[in-house]
Structure 1
């Protein structure tokens, strides 16, 4: 068992001081007065002291009072014996009655003391629990303060991060505005390229129609050249026939001068016609070469237009991706 922290004399002196101050003596009052101790033990020591004092004060007096003794001495011996016997009997009965009452009072006081001690134990337990709860609450409060300080530091860090993010957001907004302006310029450029592409498509269509017209014209000229060649072939056949006739005419020159002159005139006409046909053929060939050159030039222009159209489509796709 753990030794008592305070002596009984200290507890009794503390109870006396409380009584002298007009205060009620309780376990918690004694504990507060001496600065510690178990309230149950403190009040038990005080009650034992108080009961011992009451027992001492209530000790029965076996001898008769002096006045009664003097009165009895004046009486006769017989009467004195009777009176003494009666007084002793009454005194004994009074003492027994007083002792019985004291015993009842002591029993009741003991029961009250036991009840008070139980209540003090319960109160002490409750105080210990409250102190434990108070310590737990204090620990929880300290933890809450630390958590609050941590949260404040985190909030401060988050605030700084928020300011940094706001700055970054402002910079990103500026970049976005610039990109939007660039996108708008690109859209305008793409729109211009689309319009240029439409114009090129129109020019391409016109050139195709022109090419088709030139192609038809070239085919017509080729047909004319073919017809001229056929006529030239026929003329050459006629020339051959005329040469044969010339030979025959020369053999019969003397006999048929008129026929020879006619043949010469016919030959001359045929030669003139042949010359004209050859000239016409040369002209047709020259025109055909020019048409071929024009068609080649148109093909080259068409290829350039197609190349420009592909470059325009590629630029538009790159602009749409960006």
Structure 2
């Protein structure tokens, strides 16, 4: 039997991070989670760290260590305000009991370096579902450890067409997806850092809409159905006026699907550049290149099949 992938989870929960992690934890034969590193993003670092601890308690995985990472984007002393997508708690309408546990450390970047040095080279995958600040700091502070990463699987960015054929592509500005907008410098560093990247940008996540029928399927799950429904629907109040959808877009879990269910997607290898300043900050430019180090997910082949995989994996594990 194939050995499970050794994973570090890096994110800014946020409900879609938590749903992504819940999906990972439902695949114990395929994924071995070494730990979680929180980052500032949807809400402050203190809150994202607390949300990670509370979530692990809630789903019965309290043995996974949680480390606090970067408190602010690269080059900044204080975090900018989040976009408010998931309320002050970062969880929207989802309510989790606070954990009584504390973070395993407040040096998530140092912890990641230690783990990477202790594992065989290129055997650890990092699933990054928030701003890429922790990974950019790891590259800068511990380049030897960074070079040992097997692959980075990330959700972030947007690469759709610019004017004159422009259609809104960003969920935080007309041009930019939130994670890359929050720390464009980190995104540019990681996407061009020499480690292979599988990227799920907003262009592909916007092809997955949690409409009422799909939310009803979530409610029918044998365990945690209400929680999954709330996590799926959390950004609807923002997506509806911006994109006129009949449901919320599904972001971070798409990266999980790209890792464990790659047959669901069409991808292209590319070179990438992330805009660093001006009104387009965080927007992405993509140059298809068969030798490129970034594999960009560009199309969901069957959105119904995607949700079937998600619900099937969750139902089998959380029975």
Same fold (TM over 0.5): no
Task: Report the TM-score range of the alignment, normalised by the length of the smaller protein.
Answer: under 0.3
- Relative to the length of structure 1, the TM-score reads 0.16
Of Structure 1 and Structure 2, the greater helix share is in 1
Of Structure 1 and Structure 2, the greater strand share is in 2
Highest RCO, 1 vs 2 (Cα 8 Å, sep ≥ 6)? 2
- Relative to the length of structure 2, the TM-score reads 0.16
Larger radius of gyration: 1
